[in-house]
Structure 1
Amino acid sequence: MTRLWNAPDDFPDEMLAGFTAASGRWVRQVPGGVVRSTRDPRPTVSVVVGGGSGHYPAFAGLVGPGLAHGAAVGNPFSSPSARQVESVARAADQGRGVLMCYGNYAGDVLHFGEAEAAVRADGIDCRTVRVTDDIFSAPAGRAEQRRGIAGDFTVFKIAGAAAAAGHDMDTVEALARRANARTRSMGVAFSGCRLPGATEPLFTVPEGRMAIGLGIHGEPGIAEVDMPTADGLAELFVERLLSAEEVPLPDGPRGARVVALLNGLGSVKYEELYVVYRRVAELLDAAGVTVADPHVGEYCTSFDMAGVSLTLLWLDGELERLWSAPADTPAFRTGSVDTSLLLPAQIAPDAESGSEPLPESSRASRRLAARIVTTLDASHAAIDAAAEELGRIDAVAGDGDHGVGMRRGTRAAARAATEVAARGAGALTTLHAAADAWSDKAGGTSGAIWAVILRAVGRELGDDREPTREDLVRGLNRAVEDVTSYGKAAVGDKTLVDALVPLADTFAAAVGAGTDPTAAWSQAAAAAETAAQATADLLPHRGRARTHGERSLGTPDPGAVSLAALARVVEQSFSTVG
């Protein structure tokens, strides 16, 4: 279990502060993560990596010469927000564009994608390579749907070395994609991990059994088998990774050269890993595969999970040269980096202190803003009480962090709304401030989606007029449009959308029929609640739970459940809208 923490919600911030204090030779902290504390003497492409915390040395431990230029770091097992990613990307930019590399998870795709668009809008060449190395998360024919696990490291290393060599953006991107296409990983677990402050692990494995195809965010395995010996595990790894559909070479594995990465996920000791690697090396040699560079240790962990993964990067001449190039980071060093050529980082001056002026607002909109503050306060209280149960249902087929993320998000949103409303903000400005804070502190898919919802509703309510029930109808409809466009989910995919659509549709129909807004909202909240519970009968088609298919049958979607719960809060604390 994770034993050392203060307040669980403060864990990621305190961890990053301590890491920076210990690693100032390589990194400096910026909002959202870390960037290099030095820069190259000439402009280069910048490689920005990232994801949730809980995976050290991924991601912050891989920032330094020859590897990444920056790392955006989110809450445990949750993607950093778009604003955090954007902050790191801008601070890491060395003049020739920014290449973002991260594991292929829904929240990361949403947040990094939004940040990429914002950076590109300012004329900076910004591109993305998603890592998709986990062979158990989707079949070979749908490799683009696979998630990234320890193979993140090999792609990051190739991209960083290509940037250090002075290649342009087209070349760095192409080489990172080639490394991803030639990287395969498989993981197993013997027990689940526990998030800071949690009383139970995210999943359990029966005594004497082993989970195959686990996720690095504490997602349970795809299947369970009897616990093998160390040699048996090595044989399972090599057999699956050398299967015909997984070897990215037309003539099969014989004669190939690979990087082999045997990765401990948190509590498996190095001595155990070496026993496994002994047999891995024998089996690869027998198959005619030359291990050009073996690595045994921790490269992408999952807090205290007892688990192991094996990654193979299939080399060609250029990839091998880049893999062997020098790198110097807090967690990985190879070769000799000439630090005498490095310059101190150029640090942009802080923005002027003081609050930015708020848009003008009407008295009616300020009254509505005060009600929004009351509702967000009540929302945080409701989610705080429900967080443990939300985490439990999320852990059935996901990573168990939904309750924690919602608690962080609602608390931050309530605080931000209180601050701007006290300064005279109207409804739009109050909701947009809450949206930004929710996204930053919650991270993950839910943080991104709730920010979309609040912004959509805020745009229809405005700051300078007295909002009407029709404005709220349009706001909810716009939220549905924006959420489905942003997250690509539809009704039936077992997501928050399954509750959001009935909420919006029922409210619109009731208002259109002349029903009093309070009664209309009560009907809408009931419809959302019914729809949320009905997701128990659905199979997931989006998000991390998708990988585990039927495991989630019988359990409702946590995102839909939390949305329905907040709809009830609105019913109780927000009795009228105009």
Structure 2
Amino acid sequence: MTRLFNDPAAFADEMTEGFADAAARWVQRVPGGVVRATAADEPTVALVVGGGSGHYPAFGGLVGPGLAHGAAMGNLFASPSAQQVYSVAKAADQGRGVLLSYGNYAGDVLHFTQAQDRLNAEGHDVRTVLVTDDVWSAPADQQEKRRGIAGDLVVFKIAGAAAEAGMDLDDVERLARHANARTRSFGVAFGGCTMPGADAPLFEVPKGRMAVGLGIHGEPGIDEVDIPTAEGLAEMFVAKLLEELPDGVTVAGSRVVPLLNGLGSVKSEELFVVYRTVHRLLDEAGATVVEPEVGELCTSFDMAGCSLTLLWLDDELERLWAAPADSHGYRKGAVAPQRRVEVHVDEEDAQLPIGPASEASRALGDVIASALADVAQALDDAADELGRIDRVAGDGDHGIGMQRGSHAARDAGRRASEAGAGAQTVLAHAAEAWSDKAGGTSGAIWAEILKTVGTALTDDEAVTAQRVADGVRAASDAVRAFGKAEVGDKTMVDAIVPFAETLSAEVAAGRRLGDAWAAATDAAEAAARSTADLVATLGRARSHGEKSIGTPDPGAVSFALVCRTVHRAFVDAPATT
């Protein structure tokens, strides 16, 4: 369990601050994460990596010569926000382009893609390579759906070495994709990790049993078996990974890099006992082992587990794998001396402007700010339960993420309201804060909801029930387009669609907003409860299939809870006929 913390909600920020102080030889802190503290004499392509915190040395620990140029560091097990990625990538760019690389998780894809689009629009040349090494998370013919786990290090190392060698962005991207295509991983766990402040692990494994095919965010395993001996585990690892070889690879005569990764609580001595057999089995299969790695390479807090990654080399990949690298969390060989640099980030006020607003819109802005405070309190009260239902087939952080986002939205909305903002601006400030502090898929989606509803309300025109209904319907459409989910996929969409449709129908029938909102909330709550009968088909719960049956979707449940809380604030809202 995690024993040392102050405020659990501040853990990631405090950890990042302490890491940057401890690793000042390699990194310097910028808004959103860290970038290198040194630079080569000539500019290079910038490799920017990132993801949720809790995986050290990924991701900040892999910033340094021969590896990444920057790392966007999100909250615990939650993707960094688009603003964080944008800030880090912009600070790291040396004028030769930026390669973004990260594990293939929905929240990361949403936020990194938003940041990439923004940077490209500003004239930066930005590309992306997703890491998809986890063989258990999707079948071989759907590799694009696979998660990124310890194979992150492989892709980052190859791309970083290519950039350090002076290659252009086309070649750095090509080699990162090539490395990903030749990397396969498989992980197991004997017990789940415990988040700071939590009183129970994200998942538990029965005594004497082992979860097979787990992710690195506390997702439970896809299968469960008896714990084997160290030799038996090595045999399981190698047999599974030799079942699926990359195109063009034959085991006999190949050169392979094994990475045996501890996930947090399995110690180096245990890993060496396992690796003894891994090495022997690869040798007996006819492969030549090249520069293996054994240790903590991509962790999951204090998870008791480990994973094996195989990188199948060719001449080009072998040269890059052997190239020197120097970072706080991973070192190889001796890098050439580099000059110390200090990145100066433009600290101009990043807050959205607050323009003029009508009296009615300012009054509604006050109501919205009050409602956001109520929402934050309601989510505080429900956080443990939301986490519990998320642990069944997900990573258990939904309650924490909703707390972080709603707290930030509450504070930003209050500041905007007190400054005289209208309804649209209050919601825009709340949306930006929710996304930035929560990160993850839910952070991106809730930001989209608040921003879209705000656009419909405006700051100057009269606020009517019809405007509210139109805004909610537009938000529902935006969420579906944003996350690509539809009704029946067991996501928040299962609740937001009936809410929007019912609200529109009730308003069209002439009902007052408070009454229409209450009816729509009833529909959302019923829909959220009914998700218990569905099988998850999207998000992190997708790979756990049948395990999600009997438990409602946490995103749908929290959406309905927010709607019920907001209803009380809207009953007496001004000018909403």
Same-fold call, TM cutoff 0.5 = yes
Residue pair 1:369, 1:421 contacting (<8 A) in 2 also: yes
Residue number in structure 2 paired with 1:399: 395
Residue number in structure 1 paired with 2:178: 178
What are the residue-to-residue correspondences of 1:322-337 with 2, within 5 Å?
A: 322-337=320-335
* Residue type at the aligned position of 1:402: H
Q: Distance in 2 between matches of 1:357 and 1:568?
A: 30
Structure 1 residues 181 and 214: alpha-carbon distance in aligned structure 2, compared to 1, 3 A threshold: same
Q: Does 1:347 align with 2:344?
A: yes
Q: Distance in 2 between matches of 1:25 and 1:528?
A: 52
Residue number in structure 2 paired with 1:297: 295
* Identity level (%): 62
Q: Distance in 2 between matches of 1:345 and 1:299?
A: 28
Residue pair 1:135, 1:184 contacting (<8 A) in 2 also: yes
Q: CA deviation at 1:39?
A: 2.1
Q: Does 1:485 align with 2:489?
A: no
* Residue type at the aligned position of 1:5: F
Residue pair 2:189, 2:212 contacting (<8 A) in 1 also: yes
Q: Does 1:457 align with 2:440?
A: no
Residue number in structure 1 paired with 2:245: 247
* Residue type at the aligned position of 1:82: A
Q: Distance in 1 between matches of 2:232 and 2:353?
A: 65
Residue number in structure 1 paired with 2:88: 88
- Report the 3-state secondary structure (helix = DSSP H, G, I; strand = E; otherwise coil) of the residue aligned with 1:210: strand
Q: Distance in 1 between matches of 2:295 and 2:17?
A: 25
Residue number in structure 1 paired with 2:434: 438
Q: Distance in 2 between matches of 1:103 and 1:355?
A: 30
Residue pair 2:465, 2:512 contacting (<8 A) in 1 also: no
* Residue type at the aligned position of 2:61: G
Residue pair 1:40, 1:343 contacting (<8 A) in 2 also: no
Q: Distance in 2 between matches of 1:568 and 1:225?
A: 43
- Report the 3-state secondary structure (helix = DSSP H, G, I; strand = E; otherwise coil) of the residue aligned with 2:50: strand
Q: Distance in 2 between matches of 1:174 and 1:338?
A: 25
Equivalenced residue count is 574
Q: Distance in 1 between matches of 2:30 and 2:191?
A: 35
Q: CA deviation at 1:344?
A: 1.2
Q: CA deviation at 1:349?
A: 4.2
Q: CA deviation at 1:469?
A: 1.1
Task: After superposition, give the CA deviation of every residue in 1:467-513 in whole Å (9 maximum; x if it has no partner).
Answer: 11111111011101111111101111000010000110000001101
Q: Distance in 2 between matches of 1:547 and 1:382?
A: 30
Residue number in structure 1 paired with 2:148: 148
Q: Does 1:559 align with 2:550?
A: no
Q: CA deviation at 1:193?
A: 0.6
Q: Does 1:509 align with 2:505?
A: yes
Q: CA deviation at 1:358?
A: 1.7
Residue number in structure 1 paired with 2:534: 538
Q: Which has the larger displacement, 448-457 or 567-576?
A: 567-576
Q: Distance in 1 between matches of 2:156 and 2:248?
A: 25
TM-score after normalising by structure 2: 0.98
Q: Which has the larger displacement, 566-575 or 274-283?
A: 566-575
Residue pair 1:258, 1:290 contacting (<8 A) in 2 also: yes
Task: After superposition, give the CA deviation of every residue in 1:49-107 in whole Å (9 maximum; x if it has no partner).
Answer: 00000000000000001100000111111101111111111111111111100000010
Task: After superposition, give the CA deviation of every residue in 1:280-322 in whole Å (9 maximum; x if it has no partner).
Answer: 0000000011111111000000000000100001110001101
Residue number in structure 2 paired with 1:316: 314
Structure 1 residues 391 and 356: alpha-carbon distance in aligned structure 2, compared to 1, 3 A threshold: closer
What are the residue-to-residue correspondences of 1:29-428 with 2, within 5 Å?
A: 29-243=29-243, 246-250=244-248, 252-339=250-337, 341-351=338-348, 357-428=353-424
522, 526, 529: which one pairs with 1:526?
522
Structure 1 residues 565 and 55: alpha-carbon distance in aligned structure 2, compared to 1, 3 A threshold: same
Q: Distance in 2 between matches of 1:34 and 1:90?
A: 12
Residue pair 1:525, 1:568 contacting (<8 A) in 2 also: yes
* Residue type at the aligned position of 1:264: G
- Report the 3-state secondary structure (helix = DSSP H, G, I; strand = E; otherwise coil) of the residue aligned with 2:138: coil
Residue pair 2:65, 2:335 contacting (<8 A) in 1 also: yes
* Residue type at the aligned position of 1:15: M
- Report the 3-state secondary structure (helix = DSSP H, G, I; strand = E; otherwise coil) of the residue aligned with 1:518: helix
* Residue type at the aligned position of 2:384: E
* Residue type at the aligned position of 1:304: D
Residue pair 1:39, 1:94 contacting (<8 A) in 2 also: no
Q: Distance in 1 between matches of 2:92 and 2:406?
A: 30
Residue pair 2:486, 2:493 contacting (<8 A) in 1 also: yes
Q: CA deviation at 1:355?
A: 6.7
- Report the 3-state secondary structure (helix = DSSP H, G, I; strand = E; otherwise coil) of the residue aligned with 1:184: strand
Task: After superposition, give the CA deviation of every residue in 1:201-226 in whole Å (9 maximum; x if it has no partner).
Answer: 11111111111001100000010011
Residue pair 1:54, 1:301 contacting (<8 A) in 2 also: yes
* Residue type at the aligned position of 2:180: N
- Report the 3-state secondary structure (helix = DSSP H, G, I; strand = E; otherwise coil) of the residue aligned with 1:515: coil
Residue pair 2:30, 2:345 contacting (<8 A) in 1 also: no
* Residue type at the aligned position of 1:254: A
Residue pair 1:66, 1:328 contacting (<8 A) in 2 also: yes
Residue pair 1:41, 1:343 contacting (<8 A) in 2 also: no
Q: CA deviation at 1:272?
A: 0.3
Task: After superposition, give the CA deviation of every residue in 1:15-36 in whole Å (9 maximum; x if it has no partner).
Answer: 0000001011110111111111
- Report the 3-state secondary structure (helix = DSSP H, G, I; strand = E; otherwise coil) of the residue aligned with 2:522: helix
TM-score after normalising by structure 1: 0.98
* Residue type at the aligned position of 1:345: E
Q: Distance in 1 between matches of 2:278 and 2:351?
A: 59
- Report the 3-state secondary structure (helix = DSSP H, G, I; strand = E; otherwise coil) of the residue aligned with 1:55: coil
Q: Distance in 2 between matches of 1:64 and 1:281?
A: 29
* Residue type at the aligned position of 1:173: E
Task: After superposition, give the CA deviation of every residue in 1:232-262 in whole Å (9 maximum; x if it has no partner).
Answer: 000000000011xx11143521111111100
- Report the 3-state secondary structure (helix = DSSP H, G, I; strand = E; otherwise coil) of the residue aligned with 1:546: helix
Q: Distance in 2 between matches of 1:349 and 1:548?
A: 44
Residue pair 2:352, 2:429 contacting (<8 A) in 1 also: no
- Report the 3-state secondary structure (helix = DSSP H, G, I; strand = E; otherwise coil) of the residue aligned with 2:502: helix
* Residue type at the aligned position of 2:498: P
Q: Distance in 2 between matches of 1:550 and 1:401?
A: 20
- Report the 3-state secondary structure (helix = DSSP H, G, I; strand = E; otherwise coil) of the residue aligned with 2:471: helix
* Residue type at the aligned position of 2:342: A
Structure 1 residues 424 and 176: alpha-carbon distance in aligned structure 2, compared to 1, 3 A threshold: same
Residue pair 1:490, 1:497 contacting (<8 A) in 2 also: yes
Q: Distance in 1 between matches of 2:80 and 2:570?
A: 31
Structure 1 gaps, min length 5: none
Q: CA deviation at 1:343?
A: 4.3
Q: Distance in 2 between matches of 1:223 and 1:176?
A: 30
- Report the 3-state secondary structure (helix = DSSP H, G, I; strand = E; otherwise coil) of the residue aligned with 1:397: coil
488, 495, 502: which one pairs with 1:499?
495
Q: Distance in 2 between matches of 1:433 and 1:121?
A: 22
Residue pair 1:39, 1:345 contacting (<8 A) in 2 also: no
Residue pair 1:536, 1:556 contacting (<8 A) in 2 also: yes
- Report the 3-state secondary structure (helix = DSSP H, G, I; strand = E; otherwise coil) of the residue aligned with 2:529: helix
Task: After superposition, give the CA deviation of every residue in 1:386-406 in whole Å (9 maximum; x if it has no partner).
Answer: 000000000000000000000
